[in-house]
Amino acid sequence: MSDEIARPYMEPKDITATAKSQASLQQQLWEVTQTPWKSGILPSADKLTRARANLPPSLANEGMGFEATKQHILNDIVPAFNGSSISPNYYGFVTGGVTPAALFADHLVSSYDQNVQVHLPEHSISTDVESNALGLLVDLLHLERADWHNGTFTTGGSASNILGLACGREYVLRIAAGKSGLDEQSVAEYGLFEAMQALGISGIQVLSTLPHSSLVKAAGVLGIGRANVKAVCQANSPLLFDLEKLELELARSEKASIVAVSCGEVNTGRFATADIDEMRELRRLCDKYGAWLHVDGAFGIFNRVLDDSPEFATIKKGVEGMELADSIAGDAHKFLNVPYDCGFFLCRHPDEANKVFQNANAAYLTGNRDGSPSIPSPLNIGVENSRRFRALPVYASLVAYGRTGYQAMLQKQIRLARMISGWLFDHSEYNVLPEATSKEELMDQTFMIVLFSAKQDRLNRSLASKINETSKMFVSGTSWQGRQACRIAISNWRVNENKDFELVTSVLRSVVEG
Ligand SMILES: *Cc1c(COP(=O)(O)O)cnc(C)c1O
């Protein structure tokens, strides 16, 4: 063992041997993950206890070697994993799975371990591939490359929301300075306090409706403050904008504002904006008051992948006009079905992120020196400098399945969600939420999340745990308008509408029948 790690570098024959043993390990892992998930979706208590008991209490002086470690991990730790990504019946959070193409690519990402930070076109193709993958993603979302082929891959929706609010924070203060004829202000350059003081404003506010918790977290991280994320919703509908209320907030002279659209609300899967007209109005108001328009589209933005068939016409209105935004946050590890962790940030202003995230005065990080690089170095666009090549699984999956592959995947997920919604609507013991007046309306508005509760309070209180105890499927418990509720979020490529409908309804039936 000590030999194994003491050598400073590997001989070519060692590399081949390692690659071979990795290949056979990968083959085994491949088989594990490609066979239908047969065990319970959550590991048994026994397996968890056993795994915990086998974790070393402290670092040993002598390592146990690669072979023994492999056995330990495969025999003790892996059995205590859950099947959240591998089983199509794990409906917690919005989880996604991993497509075969993405899994293949992800193995290569680890094996070759490219660091995608500086664009060095003579050193590696990786930055080109990342930029290409971003372009393919922009195509998938029916956005114009001329406007939107900017941005970066991130660790997920939360990181992308941080980038969106950081760019917004930078932009709104620059606009405010321009409007008042003051010197340009930059939070990244001079600091938040100095910029605010120079502008004579008391803060930045984020105006939204049912924002995801990570957007509020982003406000906390960025010195905007969680308390300055404000609801500007209609009195009887927490997800819809009250445009009058919004304008009153935007007009406050002591605040600079960012408007954040919940393009896919995490409990209901519904959309904050009604159609293109509403997005045009949001754009107009943001331009009038110098605000930034950010879209949190973690999973919802993928609604734009759907074709124009009448079946999806209602929900597609909820993603109309997203091209009018300044920035879009999205998740690839959800709907795109690539491994954790992978999100993306798209921005219509190509230089904005660089204003915030640049590595100033680091000559050794500048990439190619002759003229401006065709591909900006990722380390000047996002939080990290050294970065995983997380774009490769996205690239692989988009190249492998194309637009129609992803359309088909999403259609199956929506159809299953609608079949379950309709069944729950008709069931005497369940409510589907938010309450719909007709089954037809409910079906039309259902994207890939089903929110529901049991009518009987007693059952409702333990509903999620009763469902999850079956270990046949998994739902997230949540609350809706002060009452407990469950959500079924369907985002795995392995969905099979009829088979999964049978399974879900048989579990839900058995739970009410006790
Ligand atoms: C999941 C989600 C996020 C956070 O994404 P992570 O990838 O978990 O960081 C943000 N916004 C919405 C709407 C989400 O659904």
The answer to whether the CB of 264 falls within 8 A of the CB of 303 is yes
Q: What is the pLDDT of residue 434?
A: 92
Collapse the DSSP code of 71 into the 3-class scheme (helix H, G, I; strand E, B; otherwise coil) and give the result: helix
* Integer Cα distance of 328 and 304 in angstroms: 13
Q: How far is CA 202 from the centre of its chain?
A: 32
The answer to whether the CB of 263 falls within 8 A of the CB of 297 is yes
Atom 14, ligand 1: which residue's CA is nearest? Answer: 298
The answer to whether the CB of 303 falls within 8 A of the CB of 311 is no
Q: Is 266 in the pocket of ligand 1 (CB under 6 A)?
A: yes
8-29 average pLDDT score:
60
Rounded (10°) angle between helices 391-426 and 126-140:
30
The answer to whether the CB of 268 falls within 8 A of the CB of 449 is yes
Bridge partners for 485 per DSSP: 478
Q: Rounded to the nearest whole angstrom, what is the distance from the C-alpha of residue 299 to the centroid of ligand 1?
A: 8
Residue 7 pLDDT > 50: no
Residue 204 pLDDT > 60: yes
pLDDT tens digit sequence for 64-110: 999 999 999 999 999 999 989 989 999 999 999 999 999 999 999 99
Rounded (10°) angle between helices 157-179 and 213-221:
50
Residue 24 pLDDT > 90: no
- Helix (H) / strand (E) element for 462: namely none
**Residue with more model confidence, 17 or 248:** 248
Closest CA to 141 of 6, 335, 363, 283: 335
Q: What is the pLDDT of residue 506?
A: 97
pLDDT tens digit sequence for 413-470: 999 999 999 999 999 999 999 999 999 999 999 999 999 999 999 999 999 999 999 9
* Integer Cα distance of 266 and 447 in angstroms: 11
Q: What is the pLDDT of residue 26?
A: 67
Of ligand 1's atoms, which has the minimum distance to the CA of residue 343? 7
Residue 373 pLDDT > 70: no
Residue 276 pLDDT > 70: yes
Residue 2 pLDDT > 50: no
* Integer Cα distance of 132 and 153 in angstroms: 12
Q: Is 101 in the pocket of ligand 1 (CB under 6 A)?
A: no
The answer to whether the CB of 87 falls within 8 A of the CB of 475 is no
Q: Rounded to the nearest whole angstrom, what is the distance from the C-alpha of residue 162 to the centroid of ligand 1?
A: 11
**Residue with more model confidence, 403 or 7:** 403
334-352 average pLDDT score:
97
Q: What is the pLDDT of residue 271?
A: 98
Q: Rounded to the nearest whole angstrom, what is the distance from the C-alpha of residue 156 to the centroid of ligand 1?
A: 7
Residue 156 pLDDT > 90: yes
pLDDT tens digit sequence for 170-194: 999 999 999 888 888 899 999 999 9
**Residue with more model confidence, 368 or 408:** 408
Computed over every residue of the chain, the mean pLDDT equals 92
Q: What is the pLDDT of residue 180?
A: 87
Question: Omega of the bond prior to 341 within 30 degrees of 0, cis?
Answer: yes
Q: What is the pLDDT of residue 33?
A: 63
Read off the pLDDT band of 361 (50, 70, 90). Answer: confident
Q: Rounded to the nearest whole angstrom, what is the distance from the C-alpha of residue 298 to the centroid of ligand 1?
A: 5
**Can you read off the two tokens belonging to residue 434?**
């938010």
The answer to whether the CB of 210 falls within 8 A of the CB of 269 is no
Q: What is the pTM of this model?
A: 0.94
Of ligand 1's atoms, which has the minimum distance to the CA of residue 331? 7
- Rounded to 5 degrees, φ, ψ at 281 are -65, -40
The answer to whether the CB of 83 falls within 8 A of the CB of 47 is no
Of ligand 1's atoms, which has the minimum distance to the CA of residue 297? 13
Q: Lowest-confidence range among 298-302, 311-315, 367-371? A: 367-371
Closest CA to 270 of 480, 34, 51, 21: 480
Work out the percent of the chain whose per-residue pLDDT is above 70: 91
Q: Is 272 in the pocket of ligand 1 (CB under 6 A)?
A: no
Beta strands in 243-300 (DSSP E): 255-262, 292-296
Q: Rounded to the nearest whole angstrom, what is the distance from the C-alpha of residue 338 to the centroid of ligand 1?
A: 15
122-134 average pLDDT score:
97
130-144 average pLDDT score:
98
